[in-house]
Amino acid sequence: MAIVQVAVAAPLAEVFDYLLPSQEADCALGQRVLVPFGRSRRVGMIVARKERSSIAPERLKAIECCLDREPLLGAEDLALIRWAADYYRCPPGEAIFSALPARLRRPVPSAPAPSDDAVPFEPAPSPTLNAEQQAAIAAVHEAQGFQCFLLDGVTGSGKTEVYIRLISAALERGRQVLVLVPEIGLTPQLAERFAQRLDTERVVLHSGLTERERERGWQRAARGQARLILGTRSAIFTPLPDLGLVIVDEEHDVSLKQQDGFRYSARDLAVRRAQIRDCPVLLGSATPSLETLRNAERGRYRHLHLRRRAGGAEPPRFLVVDVRSQHLITGLSHALLTRMTTVIEAGNQVLLFLNRRGFAPVLTCHDCGWISVCLHCDARMTLHRDRGLLICHHCGDQRTLPVHCPECESPDLRPLGQGTERVEDSLRQRFPGIPLARIDRDSTRRKGDLERLLAAAREGAYPLLLGTQMLAKGHHLPGVTLVGILDLDHGLYGSDFRATERMAQLLIQVAGRAGRAEQPGTVMLQTRHPDHPLLIRLLRQGYGAFADAALAERAEAALPPFSFQALVRADSRVAQRALDFLREARARVLALDAGPVQVWGPAPASMERRAGRFRAQLLLQCAQRAPLHALIDRLLPSLRALSNTRTVRWSLDIDPQESL
């Protein structure tokens, strides 16, 4: 009997050998099987065939049955997932089964191939490419096999147009194309643009679909029926037999990194996938991550520029509003309000950006000083007046809005600061009769809300747009000529070393919504730190100059991308336990002789208690990747042993994007 290696759907570091009974002899790589496992049965996937096993033949168990008639994953798909599982230290079975549509994680047979639906196609006219767009396209066309490109194009420079041309050419060559975007909210707009221009079978894959829809799309992609696949990060694992081009839009966005369970970077895996496939990959952004810029600088990625806005639109003009010692009206300066009036009277649109939802970030008692703290987190509960609730944005806990102070019974409770709900309130009073759309997670809770609001916003239905980053990213809103940024200051002095990078990206992305059509745009940035050197550089010289300076700072401090990191996070219900666990982990690292790997911490998280658990982290860092990863391999067994005896949860994050 043949021997196969099976990855079982469970958090186990190993894969297991099984016998393949003769009635299942043609069961192959990438097919799911049902196997006896301990006293139960589990679903698994065949990941290799073997000549012999190190386990004595009489002790080998046989698989019970094969669940699929054809492989669900091809050899390359498996290679990618297993590479990712190794690199990110995720158990192979967990990685493989989290890459499958949810239903196929259970012991059910896979469905037959879904049929195609033909859609009538009326191509929309395509613009004449400018010289920079042409050069970018030509560069990618010249690629022989694998090559990674950075498409670094200012907002509104026509990156999407470049994608469309490259996709079209790849489709004509008979290839499939995978396009990744960081957020669901960006899929409808892009899908719509693709639908107008590309006559091909498309699927969209994201977490907002039902299990059925997702499985169907996945199957059509896997069987080569769908030729263009547009999806959020987990779509990186979709099997694509004819893959010929990978595109990652907004490659700088943290949402491309999975932050729990199988913690992978879809962007980095896109590059790896293209390498395995030997095809080109294009990373696009107006604000590339410092990691990607560094790779371009080192010549590993080819840097393509689109320096001008397409179709003759002007870059937006920045005005800094120094709000120190100014009287603000619910967070808005007089200068901003005045200009808003002018823009609205001229029949254009204003977009206001405030990255804080709810009515106010805290409720206080004016008599005794009580504040609305969360019982489970080291955080304040946000006042949501519309819903009559205090909500903790960290653990989700809700309380009905108190009428009297819970401490002193005073009725004088006051909201402090403002969120989008409060700004909306104030604007409706100040601009009566002017249609306003607030776009944030609260105002778009039902399916289709966001799409509807954005479509109406694009049509110019709302002279006033107000929103969080949901509204800021990637949307083309041609009527917007004024963008007001109410408060980004926390990003200038954040505790995470990436805080300024994120602030700069968000600022440029939000600003990029202004003046994308005929009318020029203005961006008013309210700040209490108008003299901050990085801010000045960003506004006067642009993102590229900012990134150069930020990279120089990172080099100086030996931080990523000039070093590599891994973060061990731990949490426990009892204070100190997580820290104690990490102290021991640190001792183990030192006992292993860490060599060039530096060990920082452990330190409590900046918000230590969250959802009733105390959190801490231990950082490992090294100028080279190899010694760090070698150390981790030696460390993991002892971490697993350590945690067995404790009530501590822990995880390992390779190339972490966020500290706690």
Q: Which residues are annotated as a binding site for Zn(2+)?
A: 365, 368, 374, 377, 392, 395, 405, 408
Residue 390 as a binder of Zn ion (CB under 5 A): the answer is: no
613 is a site residue for Zn ion (CB under 5 A): no
- Cβ neighbours of 183 (radius 10 Å): 17
CA nearest neighbour of 163 among 291, 280, 278, 271: 280
Cβ atoms of 271 and 148 within 8 Å: the answer is yes
Compare residues 207 and 259 and give the one whose CB is closer to Zn ion: 259
CA distance 123 to 199: 8
Tell me: does residue 427 bind Zn ion (CB under 5 A): no
Q: Is 57 or 612 the residue whose CB approaches Zn ion more closely?
A: 612
Distance in angstroms (rounded) separating the CA atoms of residues 161 and 362 = 44
The smaller minimum CB distance to ligand ATP, of residues 480 and 525, is found at 480
Interface positions, 367-386, toward Zn ion (CB under 5 A)? 374, 376-377
Of ligand ATP, Zn ion, none, which one does residue 9 interact with (CB within 5 to 8 Å by kind)?
A: none
Contacted by 394, from ligand ATP, Zn ion, none: CB < 5 to 8 Å by type: Zn ion
Walk across the sheet containing 613-622 and list its strands: 598-610, 613-622, 564-572, 648-654
What pairing do the DSSP bridges indicate for beta strands 564-572 and 522-527? unpaired
Rounded Cα gap, residues 418 and 284, in angstroms:
34
Residue among 382 and 505 whose Cβ is closer to ligand ATP: 505
Say whether residue 127 binds ligand ATP (CB under 6 A): yes
**Interface segment toward ligand ATP; rule CB under 6 A; list 70-78, 121-129, 167-175, 251-259:** 121-129
> Out of 91, 92, 156, 182, which residue is the one contacting ligand ATP (CB under 6 A)?
156
CA distances (Å), origin 477, targets 12, 155, 423, 480, 483: 48, 12, 21, 6, 11
Mark residue 492 as left, alpha or beta (left: phi above 0; alpha: psi -120 to 50; beta: remaining): alpha
Chain residues 331-360 in contact with ligand ATP, contact rule CB under 6 A: none
Pick the binder of Zn ion from 380, 394, 422, 513 (CB under 5 A).
394
Residue with Cβ nearer ligand ATP (284 or 604): 284
With 0-12 / 13-18 / 19 or more C-beta atoms within 10 angstroms meaning exposed / middle / buried, residue 597 is buried
* Residue among 481, 517, 458 at smallest CA distance from 347: 481
Measured CA angle at 269 (ends 267, 270), to 5 deg: 65
Q: How far is the CB of 340 from ligand ATP (least distance, A)?
A: 23
Nearest to 655 by CA among 567, 550, 554: 567
Q: What residue 514 binds from Zn ion, ligand ATP, none (CB within 5 to 8 A, per partner kind)?
A: none
Per CB under 6 A, the list member of 74, 114, 188, 311 interacting with ligand ATP is: 311
Smallest distance, ligand ATP to C-beta of residue 463, A: 21
Choice between 5 and 160, CB closer to ligand ATP: 160
In this structure, what token pair is assigned to residue 98? 């989290």
Minimal distance in Å, beta carbon 607 to Zn ion? 9
Kindly determine how many residues on this chain lie close enough to bind ligand ATP according to the rule CB under 6 A: 19
399 contacts Zn ion (rule: CB under 5 A): no
Provide the mask over 619-638, with x wherever binding to ligand ATP is found by CB under 6 A and - wherever it is not: --------------------
Which amino acid is present at 595? G
Token digits of residue 442: 């609260």
Point out which residues bind ligand ATP (CB under 6 A).
127-130, 133, 153, 155-161, 286, 310-311, 474, 476, 512
Point out which residues bind Zn ion (CB under 5 A).
374, 376-377, 392, 394-395, 397
